[in-house]
Structure formats: structure tokens, C-alpha cells
Structure 1
């Protein structure tokens, strides 16, 4: 299969076909194109052209296209579709994707769209999903699944599975429930095929099954599915009843969104933004951390002002200040990045004391190596004596140890308090380490050089 490649020539060709209303040519051109690739095309078209294309193609394809579109583009297209047209698109989607799209509609349109969905059971399932927080297992799950009763025999089980599978895009697992719809386990397809048709499901199903609760956080669901390599996981309600399933494609989206959010936090951006957002949105996202950086810089100025006498006597200290600040920031970011990654993957466990000792040992090794390089550097500069070189080396080693400890424990403390630890990999940790580093540098220099 030749990979799809979006080109300027292709977009111009499609725009020309739309302008000429060459519907047959458009359908022939896009007939075999995957819906994800069509979404890329729609993202590049003007709103009237994008709307024209969505209305032209069959709903079974354009419904999937809508789920792949950039959120802003989808919102603008939906504004140009009637309630009946949106309902028609949602009818072709799994309930989880349909609920996501409806959640983006203005409140006054939601009820109108739902009332126009012809399949009332489908509409009822969508309404149920809208009750859950979008970042919970309930908000992620789809209602489409295959389940069988433990009291059925294999023959009845197969008949029911055939009927249910018509509404399921992909059958990952067969779940077993009791008469109250409580999840009991899962059924192996191999056991189903090799067992007598008169055998009851209760005799062959596997009682061990991983599951999540409707109120579990999306991030926790992602951790469970990642840990156990699951393609799908059942979701139960407060009474233990099977109410839906979450598939791997939804979890990939969660992981991607969380990674983007953490990356932006690490870069000092306080809310989710994109490159094509307006200036006001970008300013609101960036300015808070820039203000923090400004305050941190001013704090460093006041610290240096407090050691003005030292700077008059040892002017060389001033030239090494950027070095100390840079090392503090770099070490802090390295330590915090590793811890944040470990917290995200749920591998930061064990005694905090052991982690403390490990960080101190690592910092001593790195600090010693860098301190030796500073001393060697001092031998090649006539104006810097051995005592001054040792002062810089000891100060830098101390700053490295402190910065590593701050970079390690700040994310852990934030995580325990329910705050996203990714904040600690950005300007927050850099600024705080700059301040501590400069203060420690001048304080130790004062002790060693005796000014």
C-alpha cells in the first residue's frame, strides 16, 4: 500500500473540482482514500469547501472523518451542518466518538441533535455517556461490546454473539455477566470453538479479568492497559455491572494529549494551546511563567546585591555566576525530568530515603567530575589561583547536589498533593534552582575566601 501524501497540487485539484461541482470526479478521487487522510485534506480546505466535501461523501466515511479533524475545524464545520445532518453522522459512529462530538456542540443544539438520531437505543447510550466526566473511564468508554450470560449454553452464546457483533466494529473480547449484568469474567474464543454446544458458559469462562470503574481517571486506565498490554478493557459501574469497554485507540489519544500537556507545562505554558491560536490565547498561556522567571531574576539580583562587598574584592566571582546558575538549572531539570517520567509510568516506588541517598551519590560523582574540570581550567588562567579554583569547584559541587535534590523531591511532593508534577520540569524548577544556586555560591565563597 502506497502511503498517502498530502501535496499542494492535490489540494488545488480538489478545490478546483469543488468549484466546478464535479461531484463524480471527487467521489472517484476520494473513494478509496482512508478517512484519516480525508481529514488531512479537509483541514487544509476553506470552510465552504470543507463543508461541501463533508456533505458530498457518504456518512459512513465522513462520520469517521469528523472524529479525526482538528477540533477548531470540526467546530466550524458542525456549525454549517443542520441538526438532522449531524444526527445522521453520529448514527454511523460508535457511542464514545458520537458523545465526544455532541459534547462540543452548543448546549442549545445538543437536545435537538439527539432527538433527530433515528436509532433511539443509540441515542440513549450517547446520553448516558454524556453524564460522565470526559477525563474518566466513563467518558472514554463505548457502549458497543459483546457479552454473554453465564447461564447460557455454548449454542445460545454463539447465536447471541452473532447478533451483538453486528453493532461492534471490532471484537476484542467476549465478556461474561450474570443475570444482573454484573461482570463475571471473559470467554476464550478457543474454548468456545472446542467445547460442546450443550456446555454452559459458566463451566468454561475465565473468571480472571482486568477491569476499571466508570469513575477511574483516564490516566489510571492508561496505566492499567499499558502495564498488562490490553487491547480493550471492560468498564463497570458502582454496582459491578458491565456498562462499556475502552479500546486501545482511545487510550493512545489519552497518552498523546497527556504528553502534549506535560510538554507544554515543561516549556512554561500553563494551558493547552496550539501554534495557530490567537495572540491573546498564546499570551495568557505563556505570560504567567515569564512573570515567574522575571521575579526569579530579580531575586537573583537582590542576592548578588547583598554580596556587593565580595564582588568588589573578588570581581572574578561575577564572571562565574552564569556558570553556577546554568549548572543548577540543568541538573535540576535533568533530575525532575527523570522523576516526572517515572511518576507518569508509575515506577517511582520505594523508600524516599533510598532515593535521597541515590541522588546524593549521583550528584557527588557528577559534581566531582565537573569540579576537577574547573580546577584544571583554573591552572590555565593566570589570574585565578588554586584557592579560587577550589572555591568555584566546591561551590559548584554543592549547587549540583542541592539542585538534584530539589529536582527530585519537588515533583514527588507536587504529585502527592494532586498537582501535575510536569510543572517541575520547566521554568519553576529552573528559576528556583537559579536562586538557590547563586545564594549558595556566594555564601560558600564567603566562607572559603573569608570576605
Structure 2
């Protein structure tokens, strides 16, 4: 039965907390999945949420903490001392543990690591903290199953049982040599059916996809998507196996990147949420709003240069929003498609070929829209030359906006700048100004003012 968070449930939990009825509270919460408990904690006060974290065992609450919103988790951890945080960390896989510790202040971080009883676990976490969080090294976990190519099948089975105690899910079995270098992967079926005295080197699969610790996260995602992998091994600069990335880790990364790109496309320069502070929201939104303001002032300045034309053909003024909207919309459409293609590594054509394709598409769309404008002019008895002016202007700004929307993201990407910035107010504002400028120059040529 699907979990449903109701006010009745929240009230019951709050009552049990107020009555200090720990036994019934613990029994009640043990019925729920850790993701459901995280949803409950999000609705409780900070003190009540901390109370439950302290009440339940770390083997359960460590999973709950990972399901919580980052800000809420940070507040709860702020209510725990270093020893209590360390107890939660000890129950987590190294990749999750590193993510949690990276959110702590430097002094608390040092205290937590020193309170972790399993020193090997602590060393692995410290190693992961050295890597960029968006690289393969920052995404990987140290928990995995690896066997030596020189082991016998019987010895391999024994060693695998020992290693499996520290691994939550066994996605793959990796094969290494005496120096720890990745050699391949081992099929469980081949292992079970192989003669007990056979060596692993005789039965493992030598073809294995892998990434190194410095591979960017988006490239890891591309490789895993392309080859439909549930997990991928990670090697260091010397080819030694140092960790593995599972599909759930890369999905979290993709989700975070998609959220960042969506916000950037909407003109939000920082990673914020609905419950962020007013200062954080202002700091994230204001820069792009200032850009939009200057863009609008630029458009006003352009129109002022044609004030005499507006006096003679005042109808031109009423079509400026249409021209600006067409330029902005087409620019965003073109840039969005290119940004998506760059993210999926599907933009393989040459720049010239891509631009020619956009021009062809723009001519078709611009011609269709221009004919509709001329038809509108006939119905409303608009002067024919004015209708032609607007139709040609629409065609021109669509072509121009499509070229800018295509060209800018590709150039930004080649220079190592996130192309998602091109789908936001940057493209819209620039196309608005250039579109209005083109509109009045075309009007000047056709209407001869």
C-alpha cells in the first residue's frame, strides 16, 4: 500500500514525542520505509526531527538523512554533536558519507572524521573528499567486489563472501592484477559454472567500460547511458581500480544538473529553492533582471532613433512587441535544442552545416508567419507596404535569432562555459534589441522615411 502523509499521522507522532513514548514511537516508525520517514521529518519542527534521529538506530536514520532535503538535513546535523554525526556516517556508503561531510564546516568535519571508529572507512571518505564533487572521483563509492586474476575459483568465492559484508548491492565483480590494475569483469554465471580449480584469469571478461577519477560527471552519465550500465568502475591515473559509480548515484547527479540548467535558463544564477531566504533569492535573480533592464533600455534607445518614423507610421509602434517576442522565442527555441544536443552529445554536425539547417528552418517558419501577417493586414485593411514591412521583418528576425540561438551555445561550450546560460535572458535580451533594430531599418528601406 502506498504511503500517504496525513495530518493525522503528523499529529500522532508529535503527541508521542510530547509524551516521551519512545517505545511506541519507535515501533510505529519502523513500519515505514526510510524515504517515508524522511518525508515525515520534513513536516516536523527541527527539535522533533532531531528527537527522532536520536531515537532510531543509525542503521535506519543514515538512510533517512540521505533522503532528506539538503537544507533540512543540514539543520538536523547542526543539532547533533560530532560523535552522533560520526555514528550516522559509519552506516553510510563512502560516497554518501563524503557528501554529508562535505556539507559540514571545517572544524566539525575534522571532529566527525576523528570520531569514526572504522579507520579504513574514514580514510576512504577522506580520499573521496579530495576529488571535485562533479567528477567521477567525487561520485564514486569505495565499496565494491574485486578479485585477483590469479585466484582460483574456490578461493575467489571465499574472498567474495568476506567482501560482500561491506557492500549493500553487488552490481558487478571486477578483476584486477597483483598491482590492483583493472583487468576486466567477472560474470557470476561463468564463476559458478567454472571448474573449482580453474583460475579467474581463465574465465573473466576482458572487455570492460570504465572511467578515471577525473572524468566529468556528465561524461560518466553519457557513457553509462550509451552502454546501459548499472555500474561503472573508476580507475586512478595508473589504471588501478579505486571505486565504482552506480546508476542511482549518476541519476542524482543528472537530476541536480538538470535543476541547475533549468534555473539558469530561467535567469536564476544560483542554486536556490522556494524556501531559500529572501537575500539568497534576490542574489540569484537580480543579476539577470538587471540585464533585462539594460536590454529594455537599449530597445528604448533604438526606438528613439526612429521617432520621426513613428510619427509618420505610428502603427509600427504597435508591432514592436510582436517583433521582440518572435526574436526572443525563436532564439530560446534554437538555443534550447542545441543545449540539449550538447548535453546528449548528439550535436555532431559541423558548425556551418548546423547553421545552414537553422537558416532553412527559419526561412520556412518565417515565410509561413509572414504570410499570416499579410493575411491579417488584408482583413484589417492595413496598408500593403506596412504589412510587407512587418512580414519581412518577422522573417529576418527569425533567421537572425535562430543563428544567434545556435551559434552562441556552441561557442560557449567550446570555451568551457555552461551553454545553458544561452537559453535564458541572455539570448532573449540580445535578440529583442537586435530584432527591433532590424525591424526599423527594414521599415526605413521599404517605407522610405
- Please tell me the TM-score bracket, short chain as reference: over 0.9
Range 104-113 or range 301-310, more displaced: 104-113
For residues 105 and 450 of structure 1, the distance between their equivalents in structure 2, rounded to whole angstroms, comes to: 67
Distance in 2 (alpha carbons) for counterparts of 1:277 and 1:160: 49
Q: In structure 2, how many angstroms separate the alpha carbons of the residues matched to 1:6 and 1:349?
A: 47
Shift of 1:74: 1.3
Shift of 1:301: 0.6
Q: What does residue 364 of structure 1 align with?
A: 363
Match of 1:82 in 2: 81
Indicate the residue corresponding to 1:38 in structure 2: 37
Question: Superposed, which structure 2 residues align to 1:172-321 within 5 Å?
Answer: 172-321=171-320
> Structure 2 CA distance, aligned partners of 1:275 and 1:73?
13
- SS of residue matched to 1:181: coil
2:7 and 2:347 map into 1 onto residues whose CA distance is 47
1:144-201 deviation digits (Å, cap 9, x = unpaired): 0000000111111111111111110000000000000000000111111111111111
- Quote the residue 1:24 is aligned against: 23
Give secondary structure in 1 for the equivalent of 2:416. coil
Task: For residue 198 of structure 2, give the secondary structure of its aligned residue in structure 1.
Answer: coil
* CA distance in structure 2 between the aligned counterparts of 1:149 and 1:393, rounded to whole angstroms: 72
Q: Could you say what secondary structure the match of 1:234 adopts?
A: strand
Q: How far did residue 381 of structure 1 move?
A: 1.5
Distance in 2 between the 1:21 and 1:336 partners? 57
SS, match of residue 346 in structure 1: coil
1:100 corresponds in structure 2 to: 99
Task: Give, in whole Å, the separation in 1 of the partners of 2:12 and 2:409.
Answer: 52
Distance in 1 (alpha carbons) for counterparts of 2:404 and 2:158 = 61
1: CA distance, partners of 2:129 / 2:374: 65
Q: Any residues of structure 2 matched to 1:411-430 within 5 Å, and which?
A: 411-430=409-428
State the Cα distance separating 1:422 from its structure 2 match: 0.8
| 1:341 and 2:347 correspond | no
Tell me how far 1:111 sits from its aligned partner: 2.0
Deviation at 1:134? 1.2
Write the distance in 2 (CA, Å) between the matches of 1:279 and 1:124. 39
Q: Secondary structure at the match of 1:207?
A: coil
Is there any run of 5+ residues in structure 2 with no aligned partner, and where? none
C-alpha displacement of 1:79: 1.9
How far is the alpha carbon of 1:95 from its aligned partner? 0.8
Deviations 1:294-342 (A, max 9, x none): 0000000111111112111111111111110111111111111111111
CA distance in structure 2 between the aligned counterparts of 1:183 and 1:309, rounded to whole angstroms = 75
What is the SS of the residue equivalent to 1:147? strand
CA distance in 2, matches of 1:113, 1:321: 61
The aligned residue for residue 407 of structure 1 is 405
CA distance in 1, matches of 2:405, 2:126: 45
For residues 15 and 132 of structure 2, what CA distance do their matches in structure 1 show? 43
Note the alpha carbon deviations across 1:217-251, whole angstroms, 9 max, x for none: 11211111111111111000011100000111111
Answer with 169-178 or 10-19: which moved more: 10-19
**Could you tell me how far apart the structure 2 residues matched to 1:254 and 1:215 are?**
15
- 1:431 equivalent in structure 2: 429
Q: Hey, which bits of structure 1, 4+ residues long, moved more than 3 A?
A: none
1:389 pairs, out of 387, 390, 393, with 387
Greater mean alpha carbon deviation, residues 64-73 or residues 394-403: 64-73
- Rounded Cα–Cα distance in structure 2 between residues aligned with 1:78 and 1:319: 57
What's the CA shift for 1:25? 1.5
CA offset at residue 127 of structure 1? 1.4
Q: Secondary structure at the match of 1:176?
A: strand
Structure 2 match to 1:450: 448
How far is 1:32 from its partner?
2.2
Q: Find the residue that maps to 2:47 and give its secondary structure.
A: helix
Shift of 1:133: 1.4
**1:115 aligns to 2:114 (yes or no):** yes
Aligned-pair CA distance for 1:423: 0.8
Aligned equivalents of 1:13, 1:125: Cα separation in 2: 41
Match for residue 158 of structure 1?
157
Aligned counterparts of 1:288 and 1:118: Cα–Cα separation in 2? 47
Secondary structure of the residue aligned to 2:328 is helix
Secondary structure of 2:319's partner? helix
Deviation at 1:126, TM superposition (A): 1.1
